[in-house]
Structure 1
Amino acid sequence: MQIINLKNISFNFQSDAHEKSFKIHELNLAISQGDFISILGPNGAGKSTLIKIISNIYNPSIGEASLFGKNYTEYSRKEFAKNIAYVPQNNNTQFPYSVYEIVMMGRSPYLNFWGIEDKSDQDLVFEILHKLEIYHLRNKGINEVSGGEAQRALIARALVQKPKILFLDEPNAHLDIKHQISIFNLLKNYNIDKKLTVVFISHDFNLSLRYSNRAVLMKFGKILYDGIPNEVLTKNNINEVFNVDSEIISNIENKNMYINLFPYS
């Protein structure tokens, strides 16, 4: 079932007093329930801008975005937040909130008029804190923990929001190898068991091959390729989009693919 549809989306910003620069140009994208999509592309390709448009953080300059067949403009902020959650690349919190308070913010769409959480909210937050292995940090300030720990808190906040679609901007950027694997395994379990649709930005081709059922390659604000990862992430496509040479390795035993990159000298 199609849940998000972008039609002829363009987004621009004013680069100077006389000229507009387009970050996204005439882009079309449909997202279906159960998708696990990786978005890849060089710096400046428009990846972060795209998921901020889909997450309703940016409004497109041109075009239409719909969720379950309704235009984004027909949703209240609270209704929208019950459907879509967004995890930024960095923790930009300036206030001294604790890890617990940051994660509890994910329950905001469900709280009463007074914004007071009940035991079910607290139990859910504790459950997710345990799953993300940061329960022991719950009383620490969000700016007192490491970058990887703060990233896990932001992912926890999104999960307690109980969205139908989760967008993550380079979620593995601050994570060590162990937590990259554990978090993506957790997201894959949510994708399979809870039908959570996941869309993430990454520079890691092998992460895309391992977890995604769909890969999107972007360049210059446009989608160049969109499809099954092992059909999209080919030597020629990688060369075209990233201007690097690559080696595609197939494992005969488990039928997995691996990609090694070789920048041109």
Structure 2
Amino acid sequence: MLKVKNFKIGYDQKVIVKDFNIHVKKGEILTIIGPNGSGKSTVLKAIGRLLKPMDGIVHLDKKNLWEMKGKDIAKNMACLSQRNTAPEDMTIRKVVTFGRNPHKAWFEGINKEDEKIIDWAIEKTHLKDMENKKMIHISGGESQRVWIAMALAQQPKVLLLDEPTTYLDINNQIEILDLVKELNEKLNFTVIMVLHDLNQAAKYSDKVIVLKNGEIQALGKPEEILDKDLIRDVYHVDMNILKNQFGEKLIFIPKKIHGYNT
């Protein structure tokens, strides 16, 4: 589905990420985790063609991403950053409508087929009862659902989500991640996202990548790679690691923070 090979990424000749290689299968949820400054968001920007890598290549369905037209990429991949803004007096439905832009010529308006897709995106993100509300009148969690709805209206194959739960309370964090998981399971979307919370990464991901200082420290199923030694080395924290009541997912409970030079 999506392959990244030999990525080297940086700014102004300063290398931030190097030797980055992944293969994400169709329908997988892959989460990138790691300390602040480890290069998580930088990787996501490069995968989404928002930042040109110094070296390396991305293949989407065997096509070189950097040889594809912008509109063709937008039809296959939707990228949501940490902060997304829209005019405060714009309605939810109007924002979602922008998701159809990649499928339209510059002079084309919205037709009946577009309206059906917009209705579907609004329904899937549970926004139907508030679609005529203005953006200024909705909560942070509702706003995130609007941006995901706009991404769905693009009808992409891949969703890139950069810290989709940032600035949200725990209730809204769970709501957004449950929605992402629901869309992944019901619509077979491939999802690559950046998260900070280890418990959320373990619960919602098929695989995780652990980054430290711009290099991959581990890649695999959360229950197979996230152990005490790895977490201590990457985060400088001792953790109790438990199984949930079903014996399936991991639960991380911090014990002790170590100095960075230990």
What is the TM-score of this pair, normalised by structure 2? 0.89
Distance 1:221 1:96 in 2: 40
What is the aligned counterpart of 2:64 among 63, 71, 76? 71
Distance 1:253 1:77 in 2: 44
- Alpha-carbon spacing, 1:116–1:39, altered in 2? closer, same or farther (3 Å): same
- Alpha-carbon spacing, 1:108–1:235, altered in 2? closer, same or farther (3 Å): same
The more displaced of 175-184 and 212-221 is 175-184
What is the aligned counterpart of 1:127 among 111, 114, 120? 120
- 1:253 Cα deviation from its structure 2 partner: 4.2
- 1:21 Cα deviation from its structure 2 partner: 1.7
What is the aligned counterpart of 1:11 among 3, 9, 12? 9
The more displaced of 132-141 and 105-114 is 132-141
1:4-49 Cα offsets, whole Å, 9 max, x none, are 22221112212xxxxx321212322221112111110111111111
Q: Which residue of 2 aligns with 1:223?
A: 216
The more displaced of 144-153 and 40-49 is 144-153
Q: Which residue of 1 aligns with 2:249?
A: 256
Count of equivalent residues: 258
One-letter amino acid matched to 1:183 = I
What is the TM-score of this pair, normalised by structure 1? 0.88
Runs of 4+ in 1 over 6 A off after TM superposition: none
- 1:140 Cα deviation from its structure 2 partner: 3.9
| Identity within the alignment, % | 33
1:200-228 Cα offsets, whole Å, 9 max, x none, are 11111111221211011011111111001
Distance 2:147 2:7 in 1: 28
One-letter amino acid matched to 1:162 = Q
The more displaced of 171-180 and 50-59 is 171-180
- Alpha-carbon spacing, 1:151–1:251, altered in 2? closer, same or farther (3 Å): closer
- Alpha-carbon spacing, 1:47–1:164, altered in 2? closer, same or farther (3 Å): same
Q: In the alignment, is the contact (CA less than 8 A) between 1:128 and 1:156 conserved in 2?
A: yes
- 1:136 Cα deviation from its structure 2 partner: 4.3
1:94-139 Cα offsets, whole Å, 9 max, x none, are 6754322221111112224423112232233233324334344433
One-letter amino acid matched to 2:180 = L
Map 1:37-76 to 2 at 5 A.
Answer: 37-76=30-69
**Secondary structure in 1 aligned to 2:108?**
coil
What RMSD in Å do the two structures reach over aligned CA positions?
A: 2.1
1:24 aligns with 2:22: no
Where do 5+ consecutive residues of structure 1 fail to align? 15-19
